[in-house]
Amino acid sequence: AGWSVCFRRHFSTSPSRLQSCMSAWVIDQYGTNGVLKFAEEITVPTVNSPSEVMIKVHAASLNPLDISMRGGYGAKLLKLRRDPMSVMDNNNDSEFPLILGRDVSGVVVDCGSEVTHFVPGDKVWAAVPPWKQGSLAEFVTLTEYEVSHKPKLLSHTEAASIPYVANTALSALVNAGGLCRDSSSNKRVLITGGSGGVGTFSIQLLKAWGAHVTVTCSQNAEGLIRGLGADEVVDYTAGDAHEQLGMMEKFDVILDGVGGETEQWAIGLLKPWSGAKYVTLVTPLLFNADSMGLLGGMFQTGFTLHSKATQNIISSGVFYRWGFYAPDGPALDEVSKLVDAGKILPVVEAQFPFTQVPQAFQKLEQGHARGKTVVRVA
Ligand code: NDP
């Protein structure tokens, strides 16, 4: 695939016309870290529809999805979402050059004619959907609905650590888990994989909502997790996490960020016949589409979800659900208020300059995250 070649031009009028090309980290094929390339001649994503907002990126952050997408994970379904006509031609590589990076904190530089909530100069944050060009670039363009005013108390670097995990946690806990600000008081929630991006955010959100929060994590993350407000912490590396959790009062909701074997024992920790819900973030949706094709993958995914949901509701009266990231600017508005009220803190474990994006990917790929890895772009 050829990169869009453009020539840097400088104008003195509207900010959106300041330049027609930008720097970005792109991939033009899937693979390991070596496929990441710094490119200076990428076409600026200008506002193309009345509801779009163009943002100058100040900071971005990385998520496990970036590592997976770099390797081609989800390519079939995401390509279909980007360009429905691509289904006619399996071999086209229309997604390249692809820009990764799902979080942005930055400043609005241009708005479509129907944008009502933002004006140029606003400081904003957002989680960029994986079917759109990402935030490891000087500019990103999103629809107004996906964007929110960033918390006033946070720097761009701190703010970039939150949107994607916040949109994921809120979608999973509210839409799939049935929790909300007014219904969580004294609900018993278990979070597995609590020391990573989604976990460190979810603990704080649930505590702000009044829930009782139990977390599984490695022993060396216990101080961090307790500092974020967790009520009970179980060290899964000690080997008997399942037994320790089994001795506790049962749970109303489980948010599973680990998946695999965890699913097999975690469901038994829910209160039976009480509407309790198990929500896992580790789903086979994109993997199935990659490995079985769009139609076969969708069929297999639907079958798996339906059979697990049916089996659990019949055997113990608990709901089995999948949680997904969903873009949602208004949800980020609520998070912004909680951050400015001091109820949610950013958990930034590592920061990298824009020149060191491959090093940031390497850090994330090593695993054992304790919060988020952020890239300073501007
Ligand atoms: P991170 O990589 O930030 O965090 C994962 C954390 O889990 C690490 O702190 C790790 O630390 C810990 N961990 C690993 N194994 C276990 C275990 N067996 N028990 C308890 N903790 C464990 O990931 P995120 O928080 O960003 O995401 C969590 C999961 O959710 C990922 O699988 C991600 O792909 C998925 N996800 C799914 C989304 C969706 O739309 N469905 C959206 C966002 C995320 P350590 O190894 O040191 O214990």
Q: pLDDT of 119-172, one tens digit each?
A: 999 999 999 999 999 999 999 999 999 999 999 999 999 999 999 999 999 999
Percentage of residues of the chain with pLDDT beyond 70 = 95
Token pair 């649930």: residue:
206
The pTM is what? 0.95
| pLDDT over 80 (residue 6) | no
Token pair 């955010």: residue:
201
| pLDDT over 50 (residue 1) | no
Element spanning 28, H or E: none
Token pair 């297999």: residue:
300
Ligand 1 touching residue 193 (CB < 6 A): yes
Q: Please give the ipTM for the structure prediction.
A: 0.99
Element spanning 260, H or E: none
Position 18 confidence tier, pLDDT thresholds 50, 70, 90: low
| pLDDT over 50 (residue 5) | no
* Residues near 266 by beta carbon (within 8 Å), at least 6 away in sequence: 190, 192, 254, 256, 278
Buried b (16+ CB within 10 A) or exposed e, 48-62: eeebbbbbbbbbbbb
- Nearest alpha carbon to residue 30 among 1, 60, 62: 1
Spatial separation of the C-alpha atoms in residues 254 and 64, rounded to whole Å: 21
Q: DSSP letters along 35-93, please?
A: G-EEEEEEEP----STTEEEEEEEEEEE-HHHHHHHTTTTHHHHHHHH-GGGGG-TT--
User: Mean pLDDT, to the nearest integer, of 72-101?
Assistant: 88
Three-class secondary structure assignment of 166-234:
HHHHHHHHHHHCCCCCCCCCCCEEEEECCCCHHHHHHHHHHHHCCCEEEEEECHHHHHHHHHCCCCEEE
- Which tokens is 86 given? 């691509």
Closest residue (by CA) to atom 22 of ligand 1? Answer: 193
Spatial separation of the C-alpha atoms in residues 123 and 273, rounded to whole Å: 46
Torsion of CA 309, 314, 316, 320, to 10 degrees: 10
Strands 139-143 and 52-62: antiparallel
| pLDDT over 90 (residue 42) | yes
Strands 21-27 and 319-322: unpaired
Closest residue (by CA) to atom 16 of ligand 1? Answer: 193
- Nearest alpha carbon to residue 37 among 52, 45, 27, 29: 27
- Which tokens is 56 given? 């100058």
Identity of residue 122: D
Position 86 confidence tier, pLDDT thresholds 50, 70, 90: confident
Q: Is the peptide bond before 97 cis (omega within 30 degrees of 0)?
A: yes
| pLDDT over 80 (residue 7) | no
Ligand 1 touching residue 342 (CB < 6 A): no
| pLDDT over 90 (residue 4) | no
Distance 121 CA to ligand 1 centre (A): 35
Q: Which of 218, 222, 286, 370 to mutate to test the pocket of ligand 1 (most atoms within 8 A of CB)?
A: 218
User: Mean pLDDT, to the nearest integer, of 358-372?
Assistant: 98
Q: Which of 68, 103, 217, 366 to mutate to test the pocket of ligand 1 (most atoms within 8 A of CB)?
A: 217
Pair 25, 38: CB distance under 8 Å: yes
Token pair 């609520």: residue:
334
- Which tokens is 293 given? 């094709």
Q: What is the model's pLDDT at position 87?
A: 72
- Nearest alpha carbon to residue 129 among 96, 173, 99, 88: 99
| pLDDT over 90 (residue 15) | no
First-to-final CA distance of the chain: 28
Ligand 1 touching residue 219 (CB < 6 A): no
* Residues near 265 by beta carbon (within 8 Å), at least 6 away in sequence: 242
- Atom index in ligand 1 nearest the CA of residue 371 equals 3
Condensed to tens digits (0 to 9), the pLDDT of residues 270-313 reads 999 999 999 999 999 998 988 999 899 999 999 999 999 999 99
